[in-house]
Structure formats: C-alpha cells, structure tokens
Amino acid sequence: MPVPTATPSGVIVIAGRPVSAAHRPTELKVPVPHTATAPEAASNRALRAFLHGLPGVDEVGARARAQDLATRSVKTTAKAQAIDLALSMVDLTTLEGADTPGKVRALCAKAALPDPADRSVPRVGAVCVYSDLVATAVEALRGTGIGVASVATAFPAGRAPLEAKLADTRRAVADGAAEIDMVIDRGAFLAGDYKKVHDEITAVREACGGAHLKVILETGELATYDNVRRASHLAILAGADFIKTSTGKVSPAATPPVVLVMLQAVRDHHAATGARVGVKPAGGIRTTKDAIRQLVLVNEVAGPAWLTPDLFRIGASSLLNDLLMQRTRLTTGTYPGPDYYTLD
Amino acid sequence: MNLDYAPAPESRSVVALRPNYALFVDGEFTPAESGEHLTTLNPADETELARFAVAGPADVDRAVAAARRAHEEVWGPMPGAERGKYLFRIARIIQERSRELAVLESLDNGKPIKETRDVDLPLVAAHFFYHAGWADKLAHAGLGPDPRPLGVAAQVIPWNFPLLMLAWKVAPALATGNTVVLKPAETTPLTALVFAEICQEADLPPGVVNIITGAGETGRALVEHPGTDKVAFTGSTEVGRSIARSVAGTGKRLTLELGGKGANIVYDDAALDQAVEGIVSGIFFNQGHVCCAGSRLLVQESIADELLPRLRDRVSLLRLGDPLDKNTDLGAINSAAQLERIRDLAAVGEREGAERWSAPCDLPASGYWFAPTILTGVSQAHRVAREEIFGPVLSVLTFRTPEEAVAKANNTPYGLSAGVWTEKGSRMMWTAQRLRAGVVWSNTFNRFDPASPFGGYKESGYGREGGRHGLEAYLG
C-alpha cells in the first residue's frame, strides 16, 4: 500500500507520483511503463532504476525504421487531408532576441488569416512567443480562438535558478498563455540528477495552473536515443501534457528517429496507463514533405488517435507558407511563387 | 482522425514488355530449336505477362559451346583491367535502367516496388561494381599469385530474387574470367532477359553471358552438361541434393545455396522496438520468400508476453496489396504452387497444436496472396519449426537460458542464417560464436552487402558467394 510521504521539496508523493496538480485528479494513478516499475519514491536511485530499466534503443534500427517510413508516398486526396491536418497542428513561432510587439502582432495576424486569398484554410494550433510578449499576443489574438503558447523557464538554455524559472512561468500564465513550453535542465539530466529534472518539471507543472505544459527535452543535447527515451518517460512521469523535441536553437533538432523514439514513449505510456501524452517536434521542419513525414510517423508509430492538434503539434515558422503553397497547388493545379504568400 | 494513403502506383510505362522472348545465346536472341514456349504470369492478378522459349538439350549444347569459345578466345585471355571495364559498364547501365528493372521485377515476381527499388536493384548494381573492382586485383585476393578461371560456369537461379541472384552468380564469374550459361526460374525469367539486352548494350563479347530459359528439364540438361567446369545453384535442398549427385565424380566444381530455417534469437535485454522491426523484416521481407529468412523466432520466455503483442500490432500495420503501389509492404506470393505449399504447412502447424494468428487484412480477389501469419506455441517437434515454409509465416518458440537458445537454434538440418538481439556485447559474441549458421546478424536481419560472404552450414549448402571468399568459388 503506497504511503504518502513528504519529500524535501515539500511535494506530497503517492507511490512516486507527486500530487501537485489538483486539477488533474484523473491522472493520479501511477504511470507504469512496460518493463520497469515506476519508482516507489522520487529518489534519484529509484528514478535511475526506472529509466535505465527501460528497453534500449538500437540507433541503427531506429534510423532504419524512420527511413522506411519516410518512403511512404502520400499523394492526391491523402496529401490534401495531410496538409490541412498539418496546418491545424502548426505552433506558429517567433523566438528571436529581436522580437518586438510589432513583430508578434504581425505573426498573430498571419495566424488568424494564413492565406488572405483562401479563407477555407484551417487555423493554426497556437502562436508561440517569449513570455514577456504573451500579453501582446493574447491581445492580438482575441476573438480568433487561437491560443498563445509561451516558452518559459529561462528558454532556451534553462540555466537559471528555479525561482526565476517559476517566476517566468507564472508571469506568462498570468498574461494569458494557454500553453507553457518549458525546457528541462539538460545539465542535470546528463549529470544523472534525474530527481532535479523531475522536481523542476513538477514545480513548473504546479506554476502552470490550468495551462498545458509542454516539456522540451532538447534532444540535440541529449545526443543518444537511449537518453531521448529516458527523458521522455521522465517528463511524462513528472506530469508533462506534451513532450517536445527541441528549442529550435540547437542542431540537430526534430530528426525523424528522435520523433520516432518519443512517439514510442507516449504509445507505451498509453498502453500502460490509458493516458495519452502529446508530442511536439520543433526545429528543422520547413517543407510540406517534412511535415507529412512527421504525420506518417505519428500514424504508424503512436497511431491515428494522435492525429489531432490536441496530441501532436509542429513547432515551425517557415513551414506554414510551404503548406499554403502546396495546398493551393493541389486545389488549383498551379504553383504560385513565394511572393503570393505573406511574410508574417 | 485517419490518414489513409491514397493509391500511389508506380507507372508500368517504363517497361516495354515483348509478347515473346527468345534465348540469349552467343550474343544474339535466338529461338529454341524445339519451338516450345512457357508463359510467365503476374502473380498479383494472374494475367499473362509474356511467353518465353524453352531450351532443350540442343540449345544447351549451343549455349555451352558459345561460352567455351568465348572463354578460350576472348574472355579468358583478356586482362583483368579490361574485364573490369565491361563490368563497370554493366553496373552503370543497370543503375540507369533501374526503374525499368524494378517495375519489371515487381510485375514478374510479385514483390513490392519498395523492395525492388530500394533493395534489389541497388544491391544488383553494387554486386557488379564490387566485382568489377576485383577483376584486376585477383592476385591480391589471397588465392595465390596468379589464380586462374575455371572455364564455363553453369548457373541455375531461383525466383525469389531473380535479378539479384543473377548478379550474385554472373558478377563474380565474369570478374574472375569465367563465362556463363545461366538459367533463370520459369516463373521469373524476364529481368534476366532484360539483363541480356544490357549485355548487348555494354558490347560484352558474344558468348560471355548466355541466358537460357525453361523449367526443371532445362536446368537438369544444363547442370548435367559435360562441357562445363563449374555448377552454381541456388534453390531448394531437394534439387541441390540431386545436383550434387549428378556432379559427383565429374571434376566439376560446385557451389550450392539451399534452404534455411533461420533462428532469430531475442534476449530479454534486447532493444525491443528494433527487435520487433527485425523480426518483421526477418520473416515478412519479400513475403518470406527468402532462404535466409528468420522463420523461427526464439524469444526469451520472460519477455514473450511483452514482445508478442507488440509484434502483432506491428504486423497489423503491414500493407498488403498491389506490388506496384509505393506504399505496399507485402506483395503477392510468386506462384499458385508456392501458395499451396504455404497454406498446407500453415494448416499443419495449426493441426499440430500451434496457435495461429493472421493480420487482419483484405486479400485481393485475384492473384496469389497470403496474409502475414504468426504461429505461437510452436515446439521443436512441430513440422513448422523444422521445415522451410518459404512464405510469410513465423513460428514462435521460447527459451529460458542462452544455452537453450543456442541449442534450439542449432537443432535444425539447415544452417544458413541467424539473428541475435541483445544490448549486451559479450552475450552477442558468446551466442554468435556458437551458432552454426553462415550468416549471423547482430541486432539486425536480412542485410546484404557484396563484400560479405554468404553461404550455409549443413544442408543449407556449401561454398560462399560475395566477398573475397566468393571469388574462390570461381578460381582454380
């Protein structure tokens, strides 16, 4: 019988699952991935036993499977369907030091009306900005039904004290962000301090209140697919609504094998617990072909249940216009030049 | 929501099928003396593709004589560097015509275009390129300072990888200075006949490559012909045995590439998702028409309950149908006879007590089709654990310890291939050392490379093809 214990951080733990999110009572049951049992208490030793008990990932095999799925041919009606689906999954993003309220307002206008010449284009998933520009974006998107996602927790490096990360998060939520894209502490992860990574996520989860939490693993810095699998399960265990590949500031970012491994993690988590966690690749997805390959991965790895913006998003900026261009080409048969599409 | 892939068929227009194909002897297409013909079908819809000549003893005589003449007058005396140029030229033409050859192979064999395009044709070209490189370096192959060709090679190949098996046979023979008379299988002769056109296009001297078509009688006439110096056969163990008998005492050299019942061993610490992929490609690649298929899955009992549902989920995703559709994973069974054999053996497995599961897929109304099937609860005593099915049927057995895994894997009259799945290097090496199989794949399956020798232990045959070892089979 699991006994609630108080951890040093003051978070109450029942059988390894911190009970910080009172608004998510249905997910109180412990996620038990397939081969390892979830840790009895969130100690580093228990987390290590759990994460290192997960089956390994063979790099050559993972790449080969991703490559195999990349040869799927999605044409005609299937392509039209895939393009609209991808459009609805785009988190239209601007994350530059040079972002201004003007730039963010322009991006929001683009999100609300991606193609002025075609009003049947589905609306994008969200607009993603830095936390200090959330208020501007919320104001600009009022009435469109499009939510604002904010990166937070000292994005992109995540190298700041926890208090600063939490303040960053709270401010974004207070300004109206519906989704928070946090970064994990990769340094702690690579040093084996899984508990620190875990506790930071649960703390941010709490600071999110009702906002959805996307946890950025920055897979380009984790380097191995084994690490990607472990970080995915760690983030899920700590309460992520979404696991996200990258900040977009590190290369490689959302490579197909990395997304494959993350999709396997959410699939396995669902098989064990019945709960579905979302996946968001971000960084390097620029063309319709890239986006469709991502959708094929979702379709054949996690399954069709994940083919919804509620469970799959694509973090991108230049992708949107390529999707629009291909969409026009499919409907009209001609291929207009890039100048027919608005910059932002 | 569902993402249904729309049909994405590769165009047939790249293939110019002729209604009739003659024999390729001495650099020319010539009719068979008997005037007899056979018909080759598209196994995906049972329509006729083309008629081809049946070579009789007189035609075989003519082909062997042409090969002898070409060996003595042109090909044998030719410097290796010159032979290499011809092989490089052939390899390049194969690459240039690869789309045509891939479509034709899918039409004639029933295998999916994805495999002919991404596996068969790249490997065919790679075999010619690899052996072209050897042609002027034979003195450095470790077979003596001046290894000599044998002469005329009689080569009989199967229907499962028609053009690839041709490449495995023809490329090393030509590189080493031999000339060949090759007989493709009667259900898949077409790509070999296009290869004959490629030989003409490359200006290969007449008689160096001769391609004669026909069924078992033609093959028998060829391997029993006294005018050859070497017999190379890939096919069933039964036919291989009769060839070994007929060649015995003749002084001819012989290589046999025969059947298999490959074991795919999955230890409890394997990378499970990739092991599932390897099991699938091990047995469902090319509809299981693979002599080195991983047709026996040996899974450690402690993870069987976790692995098998994952495997079934994955197999359920396989897309069976039109071989020319780029999204097809599993094509047609090559012939009615083979389909019958697969059905029979799968039924025997069920009768002997194995539990049968087939992927829920719709089979096309015409053509020869068999849904991917997994038999669980199989023991060493079952026929489906001992006999080669040569189809998309996997037999699943369990083991408790590494010793038991190796003992079960080796407990077969065959010994062509095996796979081992573990994340532990020392266990991998321990296992691989003890497996009596010509190829042991480590955390992968059904991967081929022209530099890697391929061949069997025990009743899977003798001799090696590919790599430095493969050259030895054509040098005296």
List chain B domain ranges. 12-258+458-472, 263-442
Distance from C-alpha of A233 to C-alpha of A266, rounded to nearest angstrom? 8
Catalytic residue among A91, A181, A226, A268: A181
Of A57, A61, A307, the CB nearest to B1: A307
pLDDT at A23 over 50: no
Q: Write out chain B residues lying below 8 Å of A295, CB-based.
A: 3
Scan for tokens 């299937």, then name that residue: A78
pLDDT at position B2 is: 82
Of A34, A61, A73, the CB nearest to B443: A61
Say whether B263-442 and B12-258+458-472 share the same fold: no
Of A56, A85, A300, the CB nearest to B317: A300
Distance from C-alpha of A309 to C-alpha of A85, rounded to nearest angstrom? 8
Strand segments, DSSP code E, in B333-433 are: 355-358, 373-376, 393-399, 417-421
Give the total number of structural domains in chain A.
1
pLDDT at position A336 is: 81
Of B6, B273, B303, the CB nearest to A78: B6
What's the pLDDT tens digit per position in A299-323? 999 999 999 999 999 999 999 999 9
Residue range B263-442 forms a domain whose CATH class is alpha beta
pLDDT at A129 over 80: yes
Distance from C-alpha of A206 to C-alpha of A162, rounded to nearest angstrom? 13
Q: Is A244 a catalytic residue?
A: yes
Neighbour count for residue A19 (Cβ, 10 Å)? 14
Indicate the pLDDT class of residue A3, thresholds 50, 70 and 90.
very low
Residue A127 half-sphere exposure toward CB, CA atoms < 13 A: 34
pLDDT at position A42 is: 76
pLDDT at A2 over 50: no
Give the mean pLDDT per block of 10 residues along chain B (476 residues): 91 96 98 96 98 98 98 98 98 98 98 98 98 98 96 98 98 98 98 98 98 98 98 96 96 96 98 98 98 98 98 97 98 98 97 97 96 97 96 98 98 97 98 98 98 96 96 95
CB B390 within 8 A of CB B349: no
Residues contacting residue B404 through CB under 8 Å, at least 6 positions apart: none
CA distance A284 to chain B (A): 23
What's the pLDDT tens digit per position in A147-189? 999 999 999 999 999 999 999 999 999 999 999 999 999 999 9
Cα→Cα distances A50→A33, A244, B275, Å: 9, 21, 21
pLDDT at A12 over 70: no
pLDDT at position A88 is: 97
Indicate the pLDDT class of residue A29, thresholds 50, 70 and 90.
very low
**Report field, pTM of the whole predicted structure over 0.80:** yes
Fold of domain B12-258+458-472: Aldehyde Dehydrogenase; Chain A, domain 1 (3.40.605)
Q: Is B9 on the interface with A (CB under 8 A)?
A: no
Q: Is residue A331 part of a domain?
A: no
Q: Is residue A343 part of a domain?
A: no
Indicate the pLDDT class of residue A41, thresholds 50, 70 and 90.
low
Contact A300 B270 (CB under 8 A): no
pLDDT at A21 over 80: no
Of B118, B443, B444, the CB nearest to A71: B118
pLDDT at position B452 is: 96
pLDDT at A297 over 60: yes
Distance from C-alpha of B319 to C-alpha of B364, rounded to nearest angstrom? 12
Q: Write out chain A residues lying below 8 Å of B3, CB-based.
A: 74, 78, 81-82, 85, 295-296, 299, 304, 307
Q: Write out chain A residues lying below 8 Å of B114, CB-based.
A: 71
Q: Write out chain B residues lying below 8 Å of A307, CB-based.
A: 1-3
Q: Is B444 on the interface with A (CB under 8 A)?
A: yes
Q: Pick the residue of B115, B272, B322, B442 with the most A CBs within 10 A to test the interface with A by mutation.
A: B272
pLDDT at position A38 is: 52
Q: Is residue A101 part of a domain?
A: no
Q: Write out chain A residues lying below 8 Å of B278, CB-based.
A: 61
Residue B454 is given by DSSP the state B
Q: Is A196 a catalytic residue?
A: no
Q: Write out chain B residues lying below 8 Å of A79, CB-based.
A: 6
- ipTM here: 0.95
CA distance A72 to chain B (A): 6
Contact A73 B317 (CB under 8 A): no
Report the greatest alpha carbon distance in chain B: 68
- Percent pLDDT > 90 in chain A is 83
| CA A19-A238-A177 angle, 5° bins | 90
Distance from C-alpha of A248 to C-alpha of A234, rounded to nearest angstrom? 21
Q: Write out chain A residues lying below 8 Å of B317, CB-based.
A: 300
Q: Kindly provide the b/e burial profile for residues B170-186, where b requires at least 16 CB atoms within 10 angstroms of the residue's own CB.
A: bbbbbbbbbbbbbbbbb
Contact A74 B272 (CB under 8 A): no
Contact A61 B4 (CB under 8 A): no
Quote the domain boundaries for residue A240.
5-19+31-72+130-307
Scan for tokens 């999204």, then name that residue: B327
DSSP H helices in B97-185: 98-109, 113-115, 121-134, 162-175
CA distance B267 to chain A (A): 11
Q: What is the domain-level CATH number for residue A274?
A: 3.20.20.70
Q: Is residue A321 part of a domain?
A: no
Residue B288 is given by DSSP the state G
User: Could you tell me which residues are beta bridge partners of residue A67?
Assistant: none
Q: Is A72 on the interface with B (CB under 8 A)?
A: yes
